[in-house]
Amino acid sequence: MQIITSPKSNYPVLAGGDLDFATTADGRRVRFALWSKGTKGLVVFFNGRNEYLEKYNETYKRFQDLEFAVVALDWRGQGLSERERKLEHLGYVNNFAEYQLDLEAVLNQAQVQKIIGPRILVGHSTGGCIGLRTLTDNKFQFESAIFLAPLWGGNTMQHLSHRISRLMVLAGWDKKSPISPKSRPYILTTTPEKNCHTSDQRQFERLQKIIIADPRLSAGPATFGWISAVGDELIDLEKRAPIKIPHLVLLGQEDTLISHKAVKKKCNLNDNCELHIIPKARHELLIEKQNIIDSVWEKINNFLIIKQ
């Protein structure tokens, strides 16, 4: 196993918070950050695959300005959380249930439990999948949720990738092998025009600067095991009853990573869901052009006001 001795990276995390590690029930060390200042409750931020705390500094600041405490974490195998030895530059998890152990370890920290007020789950991308499982299992008391470009089903290529990965794993292929030979971080191999994350050049360059400053933050390509695990998780979640708490779902009109069909289907089947499609937005709704960010936060603010 890879042990990171310090929770600090070479790129700053939003000031005013505390960085630390939590130890999971199966012995993994996961990095988390807590901004405890706030009187309206606690936002629990679930980031996506191959993401890390430093990426959403501006988001934490906005929630802090709204008087919410914020806690966020690096899932196992990414950011500066513990990774399996020889898999430091690959995205791997044996089973998606392991992510719930990461969350449990962080939310059970004494300093997190001290935060009073309602708990609000905010999940982006794969964090939306992990968050959906959290709410489905109803192990923690969340009052409401906000999902941004949630991974709630696959597109055609993702379905194909899952089937191939699952067959490879069942056939005995090493599930820790990468599904792609590319090792350089995606954000350093694409352009502002072609990248699928953001249409804003300033934000694109900021994401590049973070990885250049600390390459350890990038998890690299997913493994057959990870792709197999996420596909199995989505299939299982499809069988579960709709979540019962109020939730806001925002999806970028130009998002090519997320299945619009799957998101719309889940929302259409749930009276507790409020869905908005954000015009001209790509995958990173919180890391976009300013007019898009303003539109996203207007909807978040309205949702939070109604639920308070």
Token digits of residue 169 = 């794993």
pLDDT of residue 68: 98
181 has a pLDDT exceeding 90: no
**pLDDT confidence band for 13 (50 / 70 / 90):** very high
CA distances from 308 to 30, 59, 75, 300 (A): 31, 20, 29, 12
122 has a pLDDT exceeding 70: yes
pLDDT tens figures, 29-88: 999 999 999 999 999 999 999 999 999 999 999 999 999 999 999 999 999 999 987 777
What's the whole-model pTM score? 0.95
Query: Rounded distance, CA 123 to CA 145, Å?
Result: 8
**pLDDT confidence band for 113 (50 / 70 / 90):** very high
Query: Rounded distance, CA 62 to CA 45, Å?
Result: 13
Please give the single-letter amino acid code of residue 131.
G
pLDDT of residue 223: 86
Rounded mean pLDDT, 135-158: 91
Integer-rounded Cα radius of gyration of the chain:
18
Least confident of 124-128, 211-215, 228-232, 263-267: 228-232
Mean pLDDT of all residues belonging to the chain: 93
102 has a pLDDT exceeding 80: yes
180 has a pLDDT exceeding 90: no
Spatial contact of 144 and 247, defined as CB atoms under 8 Å apart: yes
**Burial class of residue 150, CB neighbours in 10 A (0-12, 13-18, 19+):** buried
Q: Tokens 């935060």 map to which residue? A: 115
pLDDT tens figures, 243-253: 999 999 999 99
160 has a pLDDT exceeding 80: no
